[in-house]
């Protein structure tokens, strides 16, 4: 893993490796970066740590010498020399910190612009330029053409991801590996913050404001994302996942997400479940394959998820409990409870939900 | 001694000279008042006649407001007098600190990125 | 004309309710502040218990959010601020050689308004729960649509207590500018007075925008104002600006007086004058100014654009320079001194390295792109607790042990003191150091729980244990206070520490008029100067005469009560089926408030005089 | 305390600052005004930030009437002058004159307030309620806060006039009158910005 290698170079942090050992398969920690943005952030954090280490060493050294050397001995009543101050010293500890700060300020500004890069305009008609420039422009245009731009909306307490292809995903966002993916984020109700520690920084999702952020994953895998702005009682449980796939797998995934719903086999339990899903009004909040509204997370690929509602282990018991009493898992969430649903209906609906997959059957 | 504090005075301690000075100052005040009225009318005209371009009228009336601010503060409220060092310091600080706050509230609301 | 006899024959309670004496108000502030501190500290312990293990269900998310909000709000507004005011009240008039503050009545008013504001915030628990949107109360989460009554209490409680803080601050400024003894020029003022002055100025300029912001939120919640709702043309970022325009200066409001205390204690126990006094004053002013120019560093992830973020990042980093000047000047005050290590000095000296640890993480936070990682994680929690506890709380503890003899006539027990210090210090690092790492491995702040298997269990457990050790330390302090009250020797000398500034030239206990004759100040550290160059007593600047003193008054208490009632009535407007109609309650409050102000305005109160003979008698008794 | 001023010669030329209490009040009040500056700036900022946010409701251009604002401005400016003149009378120990000028100030202020209330009622009739839009809320808040200041000032000055109607100028009430007049000027300063920024810029449609 490339992040690990980088880490070992930095002895001050190697202690932290100890703590990394506990990580599960979902990549979470920012100390193990998996993309250029996260790497940049990590490297500059290390840079600032070096500067800070310098400051701390100087201060601590002076402090300990002073404390040890200048203790008053018992019975020593002599008054020490009353020193007014020293211009040279004063100047020294003004100028040196300024230099240190300049060292930090330069990458700060550079990085601010680096990370603020906007999504490329799709398909540029730039035929006029010559030579290298034209080539670059063409490259950029090509990149712009199939650059992935995903609209993110934060809801209390789930995430909505709208793809340019026109479909919606809930709580799990798929991205292609090795390229910059742009997220245009906004909030639906209160402010949330979109954060995938192992891939990069965070950006607030604010109602009425459009923000954007790019992320890039260098390796396929699952990256854990979190909501980082207090948004209500279940703020702690507003997790999501970023699934990074190789480009061809990603395209395949996009294709299957875009497809029309294939109705469950007739007279199967799942078909019954589908009926219940409509009768009970689930579809009023949950879209499946493009049908229904987006008041709740889209369930098109629900069965592919590892968690229900982002944080609950995926199994049928939990699913039933979730449908009967969502509040018991996530206080204050906006899903309607179904405490009185009959057992058959429940069974059917769970069966149906379990069929909602877009991954290829093995 | 406390009773002194609630006792009115039969006369003023001001000398002739001081009275002259204060009368003169009074005249200045009335003049600056007239000037302020003039500025106000100017501002209203600038907007009312609509002959002046908006892009010019707005900074113009803002400038007039600032001039009035100074007149009020320094003449009517005596900030120009001596003995007003600290009051000056506080008002100036207030204005200086207000400026970035105002700019931020007008421009930096997240809708347009700078 | 009233005479001194008028003050006799009053019950103790009445005396404390009506007092306008800055020394007694200091004690009131100290008690109120300590109570609020313990309350908010207990909340922190509850939070730490909840976070001790993964997926713990000791508290629900809702309760947890109420606890963080109240913990943060109380700690900053109702614990740290009054504790600072306690020392400012007690020490500043003494240090500048004044008999009292400029507006004794306003001083009392400030205390009672603050106190009732705090009470208003606290009663929220009895009416459906505390505020739950964090101490920053970001809209829309705190707006009428998403939050309950708790936030009405937050808005009105802070509004009221803010008014109290504001009027106290004005009083301090005028006191310091107008009431200094002869010879006490600005550049001879002890640094604690300087920071007191600067902090009061910061309050005047920071609490007023807060008042404006709270008014907007109140209007949103109670009268349907549309400031923050995008669909109605409003904007949610507006609140964040207003809050942080106040909020960032607020953190310096808290830390500067702590700097002041440190600048008193370190020279006193190093037996050396403060190194680079002029630079220290200058640095204080620069910090105060820059403090107003950096607020956007709390909003880096809001998406204001790269220019904005860069500018504010640079300004933020700039603050490290004047702060560094202070740090090194303290170090060089100790350098070459003869240091005595008692509890006060332990706290004061350990402040220096601890504060630097918190300060440098602050500078790390100022690096915008990296803050995209730190923001709203436990890294930030660690940053500010390092500064707040390593800075403010250690400073306040140092001040407590240092000025305690002057305030209460006896010292605190040293053995218990040193035990407290080490417990506190170890507990503190245990609690908060590890939180830096927690933030980096992906733990956002304000989360009531975290999932198993993310590598956060051990570190959270350590942190929680640390917080209990810290709690134990505070417990030892409380025990110490009680123990010393009974078992400590009375202080009979003026100057138990062999210190340097004017407050130590007064007799213990201090007579209500502080100085029988206003002292003539001849140098920086005037008391030390007289001990070395003079005969060890302050030269009087005026003959002994009758001493003019202000009368006590119950009106400050009544005005505070009035504002409480008024505020409560406003909250009632959002309650369902109240027993009395809200406007009646509001009306009562308004009448109490403005009625008392009217009485105060109409009744001329010129105070009273302590006759010369009595002054002489008192002076003989105390010396 | 009278301090260094010799009272036997008559009313000192700066009666508002000849006692320590007076000096303190004077300084304290200026500090308060410094704070008010930034508080009003916050409300101005809010208004300016939100004034486009009419959410389909009436906008400034449609509503504001120039003549009304002009009259209000004149009333308030004039009242500022009368309170200045009152302070000159006070310094000259001309108590009657001062009272009369102060009463005129109050009357002009009342006129201003009356027009403002009329104006608000009018706007509500035209569909600009407090909750109509962000523009409406911030407009009413800013201008209403100024109006509340005017109201408070009126009550304050009236109280002083009644309380001291027959006492003459003393070292106790001189600072009170002086400070009240400072407050009144400050209100006027704020209005200068309100009529410029809110009304004229609103009508001009920047
Ligand atoms: C008393 C309180 C206090 C103090 C003094 C400070 C001081 C500083 N703070 Fe802190 N801060 C808080 C309390 C405080 N802070 C709180 C409560 C929050 C969170 C609010 C919330 O969201 O709830 C916060 C949050 C906060 C953030 C926002 C983080 C985020 O939410 O994303 C930032 C970002 O820039 C920041 C920066 C700084 C800096 C640069 C300083 C500087 O002033 C520090 C300067 C000191 C030093 C640097 C050390 C000494 C200097 C030297 C020895 C010289 C040499 C040093 C160098 C060259 C580096 N703080
Ligand atoms: C002056 C400011 C101040 C102080 C002193 C403290 C002190 C402490 N804080 Fe505080 N804290 C804040 C200001 C402060 N905090 C702020 C502003 C926030 C942000 C809020 C927000 O997000 O909105 C915050 C948030 C905050 C969090 C993060 C919550 C979250 O984001 O989820 C945590 C978590 O550990 C925490 C812990 C503590 C602890 C353990 C102490 C300890 O130091 C407390 C020590 C005191 C005691 C323990 C009480 C005394 C005890 C006794 C008298 C005896 C009883 C003892 C026992 C039973 C053992 N604080
Ligand atoms: Cu969404 Cu926290
Ligand atoms: Cu800050």
Average pLDDT over residues D86-110: 89
Does the beta carbon of B101 lie under 8 angstroms from any beta carbon of chain D? yes
- H/E element, C445: none
Residue A45, token pair as written in the block? 């954090």
Interface predicted TM-score (ipTM) of this complex, two decimals: 0.91
Does the beta carbon of C272 lie under 8 angstroms from any beta carbon of chain A? yes
CB contact under 8 A, C455 and A70: no
pLDDT of residue C595: 93
How far away is chain A from the Cα of B113, in angstroms, using its nearest Cα? 9
State the 10-residue block means of pLDDT for chain C, 623 residues long. 47 87 93 94 94 89 92 94 94 91 92 95 88 92 89 94 94 93 90 94 94 94 89 90 94 93 92 90 94 93 91 93 93 88 91 92 93 93 93 93 90 91 93 92 92 87 94 93 87 82 86 87 86 83 86 92 94 85 92 92 84 84 73
Does the beta carbon of D28 lie under 8 angstroms from any beta carbon of chain C? yes
What is the rounded distance in angstroms from the CA atom of residue C576 to the CA atom of residue A302? 42
Contacting residues of C for A108, CB less than 8 Å apart: 310, 313-314, 317, 366-370
What is the rounded distance in angstroms from the CA atom of residue C205 to the CA atom of residue C7? 38
What is the rounded distance in angstroms from the CA atom of residue B61 to the CA atom of residue B43? 5
Q: For the domain A147-258, what is the CATH code?
A: 2.60.40.420
Residue nearest to atom 38 of ligand 1 (CA): C362
Where are chain A's structural domains? 147-258, 269-354
What is the rounded distance in angstroms from the CA atom of residue A160 to the CA atom of residue A210? 15
CB of A27 closer than 6 A to ligand 3? no
Residue C258, token pair as written in the block? 């702590």
Cross-strand pairs, A242: A173, A223
What is the rounded distance in angstroms from the CA atom of residue A171 to the CA atom of residue A150? 13
Q: Please check whether residue C434 is in contact with residue C459, taking contact to mean a CB–CB distance below 8 angstroms.
A: yes
Residue C512, token pair as written in the block? 């209500």
Task: Quote the ligand 2 centre to C430 CA distance (angstroms).
Answer: 13
CB contact under 8 A, B114 and C304: yes
CB of A235 closer than 6 A to ligand 3? yes
Reported residue count of chain B is 114
Give the mutation candidate from C139, C170, C224, C288 for the D interface (greatest D CB count, under 10 A): C170
What is the rounded distance in angstroms from the CA atom of residue D190 to the CA atom of residue B98? 14
Hunting for tokens 């500064």 — which residue is that? C387
Does the beta carbon of C146 lie under 8 angstroms from any beta carbon of chain A? yes
CB contact under 8 A, C138 and A40: no
Does the beta carbon of C442 lie under 8 angstroms from any beta carbon of chain A? yes
Contacting residues of A for B111, CB less than 8 Å apart: 208-209
What is the rounded distance in angstroms from the CA atom of residue C168 to the CA atom of residue C207? 12
SS3 D5: coil
Cross-strand pairs, A184: A151, A212
SS3 content of chain A, % helix, strand, coil (to 5): 45, 15, 40
For residues D110-144, b (16+ Cβ closer than 10 Å) or e, as one string?
bbbbebbeebbeebeeeebebbbbbbbbbbbbbbe
CATH topology of domain A269-354: Immunoglobulin-like (2.60.40)
What is the rounded distance in angstroms from the CA atom of residue C296 to the CA atom of residue C552? 45
Where are chain C's structural domains? 12-553+605-622
Cα A68 versus chain centre, distance: 48
Residue nearest to atom 1 of ligand 2 (CA): C75
Those residues of chain A that have pLDDT short of 70 are 1-25, 121-145, 260-264, 290-293, 359-362
Q: How do residues D4-49 score in pLDDT, each as one tens digit?
A: 556 667 777 777 777 888 889 989 999 999 999 999 999 999 999 9
Residue nearest to atom 4 of ligand 2 (CA): C75
- H/E element, C115: helix C104-122
Average pLDDT over residues B80-102: 87
Domains of chain D: 66-204 (1.20.120.80)
Q: Which residues line ligand 2 (CB under 6 A)?
A: C 38, 41-42, 44-45, 47-48, 68-69, 71-72, 75-76, 79-80, 134-135, 381, 385, 388-389, 392-393, 431, 445-447, 467-468, 470-472, 474-475, 478
Residue A331, token pair as written in the block? 């206080």
Look at the alpha carbons of C1, C7, C11, C16 in this order and tell me if their dihedral is positive or negative.
Answer: positive
CB of C258 closer than 6 A to ligand 1? no
Cβ–Cβ pairs < 8 A, chains C and D: 111
pLDDT of residue D7: 66
pLDDT of residue A136: 53
Task: Quote the ligand 2 centre to C215 CA distance (angstroms).
Answer: 28
SS3 A75: coil
Alpha-carbon radius of gyration of chain D = 20
Residue nearest to atom 10 of ligand 1 (CA): C362
Confidence of residue D194 (pLDDT cuts 50, 70, 90): very high
What is the rounded distance in angstroms from the CA atom of residue A172 to the CA atom of residue A225? 9
Q: What is the 3-class SS of C263-288, one letter each residue?
A: HHHHHHHHCCCCCCHHHHHHHHHHHH
CATH topology of domain C12-553+605-622: Cytochrome C Oxidase; Chain A (1.20.210)
**pTM of the prediction?**
0.93
pLDDT of residue D55: 79
Hunting for tokens 């009312």 — which residue is that? B48
pLDDT of residue A7: 37
- CB count within 10 Å of CB A313 equals 11
- H/E element, C152: helix C149-178
Looking only at Cα atoms, what is the longest distance across chain C? 78
Residue C469, token pair as written in the block? 């050790």
What is the rounded distance in angstroms from the CA atom of residue A169 to the CA atom of residue A161? 5
Among B13, B54, B69, beta carbon nearest to D12:
B13
CA distances from A106 to A7, A44, B34, C15, C326 (A): 23, 11, 54, 61, 25
Does the beta carbon of B10 lie under 8 angstroms from any beta carbon of chain D? yes
pLDDT of residue C65: 93
SS3 A240: strand
- Indicate if A269-354 has the same CATH topology as A147-258: yes
Q: If we measure between CA atoms, which residue out of C254, C247, C248 comes closest to residue C210? A: C247
Q: Alpha helix (H) ranges present in D51-165?
A: 60-63, 66-91, 95-125, 134-163
Reported residue count of chain A is 362
Average pLDDT, chain D: 87
What is the rounded distance in angstroms from the CA atom of residue D2 to the CA atom of residue B19? 22
Look at the alpha carbons of C248, C254, C257, C258 in this order and tell me if their dihedral is positive or negative.
Answer: negative
Cα B4 versus chain centre, distance: 35
CB contact under 8 A, C336 and A108: no
Among B37, B43, B109, beta carbon nearest to D49:
B109
Among C205, C307, C308, beta carbon nearest to B93:
C205
Give the mutation candidate from C300, C304, C551, C603 for the B interface (greatest B CB count, under 10 A): C304
- CB count within 10 Å of CB C325 equals 23
Q: Quick one: which ligand is closest to A202's CA? A: 1
Does the beta carbon of B101 lie under 8 angstroms from any beta carbon of chain C? yes
What is the rounded distance in angstroms from the CA atom of residue C258 to the CA atom of residue C191? 11
């Amino acid at each position: 893993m490339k992040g690990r290698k980088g880490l070992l170079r930095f002895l001050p942090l190697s202690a932290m490796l100890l703590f990394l050992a506990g990580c599960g398969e979902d990549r979470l920690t920012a100390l193990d970066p998996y993309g250029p943005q996260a790497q940049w952030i990590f490297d500059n954090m290390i840079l600032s740590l070096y500067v800070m280490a310098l400051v701390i060493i100087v201060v601590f050294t002076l402090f300990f010498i002073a404390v040890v050397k200048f203790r008053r001995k018992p019975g020593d009543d002599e008054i020490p020399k009353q020193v007014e101050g020293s211009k040279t010293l004063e100047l020294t500890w003004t100028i040196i910190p300024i230099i240190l700060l300049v060292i930090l300020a330069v990458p700060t500004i550079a990085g601010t612009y680096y990370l603020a890069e906007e999504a490329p305009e799709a398909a540029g008609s730039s035929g006029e330029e010559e030579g290298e420039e034209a080539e670059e422009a063409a490259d950029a245009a090509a990149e712009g053409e199939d650059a992935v731009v995903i609209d993110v909306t934060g809801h209390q307490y789930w995430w909505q991801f709208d793809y340019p292809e026109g479909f919606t995903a809930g709580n799990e966002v798929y991205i292609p590996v090795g390229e910059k993916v742009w997220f245009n984020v906004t909030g639906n109700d209160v402010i949330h913050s979109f954060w995938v520690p192992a891939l990069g920084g965070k950006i607030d999702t604010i109602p009425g404001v459009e923000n954007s952020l790019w992320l890039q994953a260098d390796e396929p895998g699952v990256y854990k994302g979190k909501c980082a702005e207090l948004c209500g009682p279940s703020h702690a449980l507003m997790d999501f996942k970023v699934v990074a796939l190789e480009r061809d797998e990603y395209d395949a995934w996009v294709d299957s997400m875009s497809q029309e719903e294939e109705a469950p086999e007739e007279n199967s339990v799942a078909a019954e479940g589908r009926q219940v899903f409509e009768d009970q009004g689930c579809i009023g909040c949950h879209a499946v394959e493009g049908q229904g509204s987006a008041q709740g997370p889209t369930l098109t690929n629900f069965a592919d998820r590892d968690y229900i509602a982002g944080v609950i282990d995926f199994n049928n018991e939990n699913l039933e409990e979730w449908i009967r009493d969502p509040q018991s898992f996530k206080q204050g969430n906006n899903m309607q409870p179904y405490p009185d649903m009959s057992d058959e209906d429940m069974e059917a609906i769970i069966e149906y939900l379990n069929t909602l997959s877009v991954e290829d059957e093995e | 001694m406390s009773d002194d504090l609630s006792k009115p005075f039969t006369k003023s301690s001001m000398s002739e000279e001081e009275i002259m000075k204060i009368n003169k100052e009074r005249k200045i005040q009335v003049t600056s008042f007239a000037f302020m009225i003039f500025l106000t009318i100017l501002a209203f005209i600038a907007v009312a006649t609509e002959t002046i371009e908006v892009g010019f009228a707005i900074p113009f009336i803002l400038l007039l407001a600032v001039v009035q601010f100074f007149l009020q503060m320094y003449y009517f409220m005596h900030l120009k007098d001596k003995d007003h060092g600290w009051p000056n310091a506080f008002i100036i600080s207030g204005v200086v600190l207000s400026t970035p706050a105002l700019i931020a509230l007008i421009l930096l609301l997240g809708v347009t990125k700078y | 004309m009233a005479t001194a006899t008028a003050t006799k024959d009053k019950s103790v309670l009445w005396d404390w309710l009506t007092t306008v004496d800055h020394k007694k108000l200091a004690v009131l502030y100290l008690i109120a502040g300590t109570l609020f501190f313990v309350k908010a500290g207990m909340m922190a312990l509850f939070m730490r218990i909840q976070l001790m293990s993964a997926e713990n269900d000791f508290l629900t998310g809702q309760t947890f959010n109420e606890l963080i909000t109240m913990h943060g709000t109380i700690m900053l507004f109702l614990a740290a601020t009054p504790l600072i005011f306690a020392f400012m009240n007690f020490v500043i008039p003494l240090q500048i050689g004044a008999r009292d503050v400029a507006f004794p009545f306003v001083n009392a008013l400030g205390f009672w308004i603050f106190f009732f504001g705090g009470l208003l915030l606290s009663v929220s628990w009895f009416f459906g729960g505390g505020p739950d949107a964090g101490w920053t109360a970001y809209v829309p989460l705190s707006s009428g649509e998403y939050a309950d009554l708790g936030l009405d209490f937050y808005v009105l409680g802070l509004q009221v207590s803010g008014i109290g803080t504001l009027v106290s601050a004005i009083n301090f400024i005028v006191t310091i500018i107008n009431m200094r003894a002869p010879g006490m020029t600005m550049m001879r003022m002890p640094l604690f007075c300087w920071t007191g002055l600067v902090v009061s100025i910061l309050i005047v300029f920071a609490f007023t925008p807060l008042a404006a912001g709270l008014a907007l939120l109140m209007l949103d919640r109670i009268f349907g104002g549309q400031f923050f709702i995008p669909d109605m043309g409003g904007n949610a970022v507006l609140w964040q600006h207003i809050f942080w325009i106040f909020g960032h200066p607020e953190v310096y409001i808290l830390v500067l007086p702590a700097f002041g205390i440190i600048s008193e204690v370190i020279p006193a126990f190093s037996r050396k004058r403060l190194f680079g006094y002029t630079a220290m004053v200058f640095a204080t002013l620069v910090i105060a100014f820059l403090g107003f120019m950096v607020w956007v560093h709390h909003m880096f992830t809001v998406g204001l654009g790269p220019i904005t973020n860069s500018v504010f990042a640079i300004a933020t980093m700039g603050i490290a320079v004047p702060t560094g000047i202070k740090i090194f000047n303290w170090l060089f005050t100790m350098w070459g001194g003869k240091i005595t290590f008692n509890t006060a000095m332990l706290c004061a000296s350990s402040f220096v390295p601890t504060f630097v640890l918190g300060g440098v993480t602050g500078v790390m936070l100022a690096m915008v792109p990296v803050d995209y990682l730190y923001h709203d994680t436990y890294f930030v929690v660690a940053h500010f607790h390092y500064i707040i506890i390593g800075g403010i709380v250690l400073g306040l503890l140092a001040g407590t042990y240092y000025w305690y003899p002057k305030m209460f006539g006896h010292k605190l027990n040293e053995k218990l003191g040193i035990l407290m210090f080490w417990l506190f210090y170890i507990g503190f690092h245990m609690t908060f150091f590890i939180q830096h790492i927690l933030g980096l491995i992906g733990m956002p702040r304000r989360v009531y729980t975290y999932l198993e298997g993310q590598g956060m269990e051990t570190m959270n457990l350590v942190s929680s244990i640390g917080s209990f050790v810290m709690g134990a330390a505070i417990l030892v302090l409380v025990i110490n206070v009680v123990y010393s009250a009974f078992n400590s020797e009375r202080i009979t000398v003026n100057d138990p520490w062999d210190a340097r500034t004017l407050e130590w030239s007064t007799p213990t206990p201090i007579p209500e008029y502080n100085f029988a004759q206003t002292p003539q100040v001849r140098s920086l550290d005037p008391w030390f100067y007289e001990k070395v160059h003079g005969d060890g007593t302050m030269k009087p600047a005026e003959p002994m005469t009758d001493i003019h003193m202000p009368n006590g008054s119950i009106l400050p208490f009544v005005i505070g009560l009035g504002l409480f009632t008024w505020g409560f009535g406003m909250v009632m407007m959002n309650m369902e089926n109240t027993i009395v109609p809200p406007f009646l309650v509001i009306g009562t409050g308004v009448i109490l408030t403005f009625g008392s102000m009217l009485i105060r305005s109409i009744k001329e109160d010129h105070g009273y005089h302590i006759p010369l003979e009595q002054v002489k008698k008192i002076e003989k008794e105390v010396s | 305390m009278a301090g260094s001023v010799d009272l036997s010669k008559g009313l000192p030329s700066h009666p508002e600052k000849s006692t320590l209490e007076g000096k303190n009040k004077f300084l304290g009040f200026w500090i308060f005004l410094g704070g008010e500056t930034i508080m009003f700036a916050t409300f101005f900022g809010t208004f300016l930030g939100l004034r486009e946010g009419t959410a389909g409701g009436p906008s400034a251009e449609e509503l504001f009437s120039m003549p009304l604002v002009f009259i209000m401005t004149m009333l308030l400016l004039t009242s500022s002058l009368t309170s200045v003149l009152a302070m000159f009378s006070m310094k000259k120990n001309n108590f009657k004159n001062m009272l009369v000028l102060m009463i005129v100030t109050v009357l002009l202020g009342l006129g201003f307030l009356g027009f403002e209330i009329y104006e608000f009622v009018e706007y509500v009739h035209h569909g600009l309620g407090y909750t109509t839009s962000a523009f409406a809320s911030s407009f009413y808040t800013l201008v209403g806060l100024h109006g509340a200041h005017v109201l408070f000032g009126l009550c304050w000055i009236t109280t002083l006039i009644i309380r001291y109607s027959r006492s003459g100028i003393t070292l106790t009430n001189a600072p009170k009158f002086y400070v009240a007049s400072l407050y009144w000027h400050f209100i006027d300063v704020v209005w200068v910005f309100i009529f410029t920024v809110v009304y004229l810029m609103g009508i001009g449609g920047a």
